[in-house]
Amino acid sequence: MSTIDGPKRDTIRLDGEPPRILLIQAPYYEGIVGGMRRGVERVVAEAGGTLEVVDVAGAFELPAALRLALDAMEHPDEPPYWDGFVLLGCVVKGDTDHYDHICREACSGVMQISVQTGAAIGFGLLTVHTIQQAEERSADDGHNKGAEAAQAALLQVALKRRWRMA
């Protein structure tokens, strides 16, 4: 296990309506992503929020699914509504450069959407060299990167609400 502690955050409480979070996950490594999802579920529940979960094929599809969700919110006939988004996945380095391309494009795609839209996004894509590293980052402890991604999304939701009210 890693000896570096992750951020210690209190339960995030938001003013107003309970937060609605869409979790977009790429469960290619089902056990790893499942562990991170449990972290998201815990953090969102502690904040009094609700969570909707959708699956995509892999990490490469995360940005496109996020864009589809944001576009769906603009649909005129009763659009779905989410306050924030959490994206989860895992890419393990292999013997080819496929890892580099997938990681770069997934991260770049999410960052572009974040900057262009201002959406509240928690990005939990593990980019690791070994399954052991991924297991350490998806365990039910203080190092769970899914929980950290959910906290990031909720903090962004809080910031958006604060500035919208100002």
Residue 108 buriedness (CB in 10 A; 0-12 / 13-18 / 19+): exposed
Whether 101 is a known active-site residue: answer no
Tell me how many degrees the CA angle 85-153-165 measures, rounded to the nearest 5: 100
Phi, psi of 96 (to 5 degrees): -115, 175
Report the largest interatomic distance among the alpha carbons of the chain, rounded to a whole angstrom. 51
Amino acid identity, position 165: M
From 98, 101, 129, 143, active-site residue: 98
Contacts with 11 (C-beta within 8 Å, 6 or more apart), sequence order: 46, 47
Q: Which residues are catalytic?
A: 98
